[in-house]
């Protein structure tokens, strides 16, 4: 069966129909395209990353809403990320389908996705140099995954490409009625094997890096990189979205952790979020902070401090969290902000565990219902802002609101990356 190829494939993104037709594209054509793209990327990517980001931001004028020159940023800082990159098939529907029901989409888009790809895209748009290590196949979806990453200035020169197989993809059902999304993921095949991470690749990937990010996937390979990064004294950020095989070991290398709302309770089996926060930080003594994202409710951050800077008094973490959450409720919902405790000795209700540190609550940006389109990738966008903040030297008082603004931007368009703002965005620029 012959399929018509998109005539604009080598020059610009295809139409929705053409993107789907790429799935049946003959393999011999893909091999020719792959060689051309890879050579061009390897030679020019590092020197054009900043230009690519600038073009990307100009093209997103409706998102950024500003023609001003952005403030100078840490452009020489490099963050590298290892994990999943995929192609998302995003179907927006009026309401989630019932069993055996047929319905039409209100909108369909095929866009790059995957946690590490999304987070690095946000970091790149904010001004960081970025590199990715992942695996795709030499197929149509794989080409689109790499093209979109390269379009945001992300270095893909270390990506493993399977000549035979399928690239990772996800069906995303966006329910307009409940403002939720449901993801049905198909992993790539063949999977990434640790032996595909060669010493040459490790050195090329980590040399010059200032921060290493793991999205919690590909843990066998991630552990190899984490050990090497630790030997090189590179800080590590880990995304703890849900319990996965090998994630426990990976977390022991983490200097910084960003977790989903459910993860601390699931991982520690503690009865409350406050006790789960304390338990995680005690079990993971290397971690400098733990952030738990709470969606529209903002986030909570527990930051470790040296015991000699704490006030003499001891505070119950459960009561302290309740107090800060109530204080945050009275803040302006249109402007993300932070409330913080002092550095104290923190205790829990049910154990003798203690930690010297401070607790912070960050508020989310309130998004009018008419502007809320899709929450896919909002947590990844938040992590991208955290990575930028760490390398730009921004404290939690700026980092958490910046993360909230970037995440809110991603929610205003269909897909994980479409609405992610860049440095030209007026709200973003206020925190840079």
Domains, the chain, with CATH or none:
115-159+189-429 (3.40.1190.20)
Q: Give Cα 381 distance to the centre of its chain.
A: 5
Do residues 202 and 225 touch, judged by C-beta distance below 8 A? yes
Residue 276's SS3 state is helix
List, for residues 380-401, the tens digit of each pLDDT value.
999 999 999 999 999 999 999 9
| For range 21-36, the mean pLDDT | 35
- The pLDDT value given to residue 70: 52
pLDDT of amino acid 7:
34
Name the helix (H) or strand (E) containing 345.
strand 344-347
Which of the 8 DSSP states describes residue 322? H
Per-residue pLDDT tens for 221-265?
Answer: 999 999 999 999 999 999 999 999 999 999 999 999 999 999 999
Beta carbons within 8 Å of 77's beta carbon, 6+ residues apart: 128, 129, 210, 211, 391, 392
CB–CB of 172/89 below 8 Å?
yes
Residue 28: which region, alpha, beta or left (left: phi > 0; alpha: psi -120 to 50)? Answer: alpha
- Taking the C-alpha atoms of residue 215 and residue 271, their distance in angstroms, rounded to an integer, is 26
pLDDT in the model for residue 117: 97
Give the tokens for residue 20. 């789907």
According to the model, what pLDDT value does residue 395 have? 95
Q: What is the DSSP string of 16-41?
A: HHHHHHGGG--HHHHHHHHHHHHHHH
Q: Which two tokens stand for residue 56?
A: 């990307």
Alpha-carbon distance of 179 to 229, in angstroms, equals: 39
Tens digit of each residue's pLDDT (9 = 90 or more) over 134-159: 999 999 999 999 999 999 999 999 99
Q: Could you tell me the two tokens for 264?
A: 């601390």
How far apart, in Å, are the Cα atoms of 90 and each of 62, 106, 127, 176, 214?
A: 21, 11, 27, 12, 25
List pLDDT tens digits, range 50-91: 433 443 444 443 343 444 555 545 768 999 999 999 999 999
Which residues make Cβ contacts (< 8 Å) with residue 308, sequence separation at least 6? Answer: none
Kindly state the helix (H) or strand (E) to which residue 223 belongs, with its residue range: helix 219-231
User: And the tokens for 151?
Assistant: 């379009």
**Strand residues in 17-163 grouped as ranges (E):** 78-82, 86-93, 107-113, 129-133, 135-137, 154-155, 160-162
Please confirm whether the linkage preceding 190 is cis (ω < 30° from 0).
Answer: yes
pLDDT for 333 equals 81
Nearest to 236 by CA among 217, 260, 209: 209
DSSP secondary structure letter of residue 85: -
Apex CA 363: angle with CA 358 and CA 364, to 5°? 140
Cα gap 92→96, rounded to integer Å: 9
| Beta carbons of 314 and 305 less than 8 angstroms apart | no
Residue whose token pair is 């992590």:
383
């Amino acid at each position: 069966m012959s399929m018509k190829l998109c005539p604009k494939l080598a020059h610009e993104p295809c139409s929705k129909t053409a993107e789907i037709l790429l799935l049946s594209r003959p393999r011999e054509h893909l091999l020719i395209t792959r060689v051309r793209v890879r050579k061009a990327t390897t030679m020019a990517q590092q020197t054009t990353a900043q230009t690519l980001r600038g073009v990307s931001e100009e093209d997103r004028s409706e998102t950024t809403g500003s023609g001003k020159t952005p403030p100078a940023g840490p452009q020489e800082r490099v963050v590298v990320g290892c994990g999943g990159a995929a192609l998302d098939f995003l179907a927006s529907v009026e309401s989630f389908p019932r069993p055996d029901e047929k319905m039409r989409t209100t909108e369909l888009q095929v866009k790059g996705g995957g946690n590490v790809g999304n987070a690095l895209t946000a970091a790149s748009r904010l001004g960081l140099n970025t590199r990715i290590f992942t695996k795709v196949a030499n197929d149509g979806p794989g080409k689109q995954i790499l093209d979109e990453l390269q379009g945001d200035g992300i270095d893909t020169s270390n990506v493993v490409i399977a000549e035979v197989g399928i690239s990772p993809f996800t069906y995303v059902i966006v329910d307009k009625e409940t403002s939720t999304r449901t993801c049905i993921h198909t992993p790539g095949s063949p999977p990434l094997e640790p032996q595909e991470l060669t010493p040459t690749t490790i050195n090329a990937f980590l040399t010059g890096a200032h921060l290493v990010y793991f999205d919690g996937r590909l843990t066998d390979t991630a552990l190899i990189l984490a050990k090497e990064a630790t030997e090189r004294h590179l800080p590590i950020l880990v995304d703890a979205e849900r319990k996965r095989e090998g994630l426990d070991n990976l977390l022991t290398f983490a200097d910084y952790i960003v977790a989903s709302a459910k993860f601390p309770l699931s991982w520690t089996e503690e009865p409350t979020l406050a006790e789960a926060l304390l338990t995680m930080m005690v079990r993971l003594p290397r971690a400098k902070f733990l952030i738990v994202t709470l969606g529209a409710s903002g986030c909570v951050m527990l930051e470790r401090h040296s015991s000699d800077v704490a006030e003499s008094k001891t505070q119950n973490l459960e009561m302290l969290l309740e107090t800060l959450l109530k204080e945050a409720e009275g803040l302006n919902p249109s402007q993300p902000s932070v409330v913080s405790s002092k550095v104290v000795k923190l205790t829990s209700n049910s154990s003798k565990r203690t930690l010297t540190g401070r607790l912070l609550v960050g508020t989310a940006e309130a998004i009018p219902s008419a502007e809320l389109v899709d929450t896919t990738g909002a947590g990844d966008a938040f992590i991208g802002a955290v990575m930028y903040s760490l390398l730009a030297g921004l404290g939690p008082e700026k980092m958490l609101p910046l993360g909230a603004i970037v995440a809110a931007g991603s929610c205003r368009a269909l897909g994980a990356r479409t609405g992610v703002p860049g440095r030209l965005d007026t709200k973003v620029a206020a925190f840079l």
